[in-house]
Structure 1
């Protein structure tokens, strides 16, 4: 049994069956000679009562000296009570972050989350997470790698924070599924970027212009009636986009001026609506064999995407910076200016938390300012 050198490895003759030449100086280190003539370095050791052989690499790609050094590392790990071959096998079968994402979607999100949330998860995984970290193994991902991914998205702080939230959820589930130890979520202590809450409300002049554009589109037929109906209902009800786009006639109670929504962002709820919303609903044609209020072009289908017509309509109205969700903000702002209290506005909008409605609190100062101005002006006139 000689000491393995490059000369001995290359001089070894292939046989009908593969065989191993073991090293005289480092017990367990050897080179396997295959019938094809290929030579592969390996190390053999005992783990408990089991003998294991672990491949180190092919001769030519790995030098004899490098293979010997790798064998020494493996044997040192065995001396410390570890099983390097088993650890390597486990690592090969450990899921990647991309595979974890797919499991989160199929085993969790599609059963426990709303459809819109699932769409968002798919978007963040495909666009931001998988291209940057999808090939990393779940069990080995560190906080530094998560922090680096988050930092790489600093140009889009909102998207960076949403990715961090999704990753944290994924690693929590990885712990539940036994893919990581309990309490090892690498997203912990990674600080989110500050987000500026966008506040955009339509003025009376902008609302008037939008109303004029909607009437023009209706008369000319350049936009679908369904899109126009949806926009009017969003303005008059303050509902979320998904609540109007998935509204069925079975949910509409015109007699009691209400929409009974079986499912929303905050669960089942009743939306009380005013006369303009009732009138708008009354004017919408109910199509046979179509349960949806906002109908699509195919029989029995609903309109699924309001963005394209909204972008054209807002451009004609000169309000290109207004998002669809800003119509909901406008509903709330008008309620505040008209003297409605925040608890009432929270009920109108279906908020589950007081903090959500509190973002409109500063608008309540406007009617107070107007009252103060009116009183002071009266006093000034009285003083002469």
Structure 2
């Protein structure tokens, strides 16, 4: 996990990265999405008007609709304006057409910040910040796309993108506060 204390150093190292790696890492931090979900994100599943991301296929097989914070919406609007691919948010040179490798830029950011981390650590950081803001348990589970069907109560609760919009914005605001970009 990237701790609150380490986040400013990590942020500074990320901001000097090329836009493809910078934006990828910031999206990972601001959404808690899994590596593969980010790599395979298509522009057709990004709705800048409704400020939502749609993941038709996730690790657990369930689709997921996530709201975007103001910060993430702005980042994706800028990214879309300079997009070189109409298909992939994070295009790559290989057969798949999307980014497949992150090791080099993870190593650069780790070296530049002195913070050793993995992409999964950014998922942990996102959800830890959300939990510290007292985001409700079932909203936390939905943000990570963890199933609640083993919990009888969870089966009754509908947590949609609009219900998650407030928590997502609060997490983004807290991240920006921790890195000194927002007060």
Contact map agreement 1:226 1:303 (CA 8 A) in 2: no
Q: TM-score, normalised by structure 2?
A: 0.73
- 2:44 matches 1:250: yes
Q: Pairwise CA RMSD of aligned residues? A: 2.1
- 2:132 matches 1:332: no
Q: SS at the partner of 2:65?
A: strand
Residue 238 of structure 1 and its aligned partner are, at CA, apart by 0.9
Relative to structure 1, is the Cα distance of residues 338 and 347 closer, same or farther in structure 2, using a 3 angstrom cutoff? same
- 2:134 matches 1:345: no
Relative to structure 1, is the Cα distance of residues 209 and 354 closer, same or farther in structure 2, using a 3 angstrom cutoff? farther
Give distance in 2, aligned partners of 1:332 and 1:274. Answer: 15
Q: Counterpart of 2:181?
A: none
Give distance in 2, aligned partners of 1:286 and 1:351. Answer: 31
Higher relative contact order (CA 8 A, sep 6+): 2
CA shift digits 1:6-65 (9 cap, x unpaired): xxxxxxxxxxxxxxxxxxxxxxxxxxxxxxxxxxxxxxxxxxxxxxxxxxxxxxxxxxxx
Contact map agreement 1:291 1:300 (CA 8 A) in 2: no
Residue 354 of structure 1 and its aligned partner are, at CA, apart by 7.4
Give distance in 2, aligned partners of 1:248 and 1:342. Answer: 29
Larger Rg: 1
Q: TM-score, normalised by structure 1?
A: 0.36
Give distance in 2, aligned partners of 1:354 and 1:227. Answer: 36
Contact map agreement 1:294 1:303 (CA 8 A) in 2: yes
Give distance in 2, aligned partners of 1:209 and 1:279. Answer: 22
Residue 298 of structure 1 and its aligned partner are, at CA, apart by 6.3
Give distance in 1, aligned partners of 2:96 and 2:103. Answer: 21
Residue 273 of structure 1 and its aligned partner are, at CA, apart by 2.0
Q: Counterpart of 1:238?
A: 32
Give distance in 2, aligned partners of 1:257 and 1:244. Answer: 16
Residue 341 of structure 1 and its aligned partner are, at CA, apart by 1.6
Give distance in 1, aligned partners of 2:130 and 2:64. Answer: 20
Q: Which runs of 5+ in 2 are unaligned?
A: 151-183
Give distance in 1, aligned partners of 2:67 and 2:12. Answer: 26
Relative to structure 1, is the Cα distance of residues 226 and 299 closer, same or farther in structure 2, using a 3 angstrom cutoff? farther
Q: SS at the partner of 1:283?
A: helix
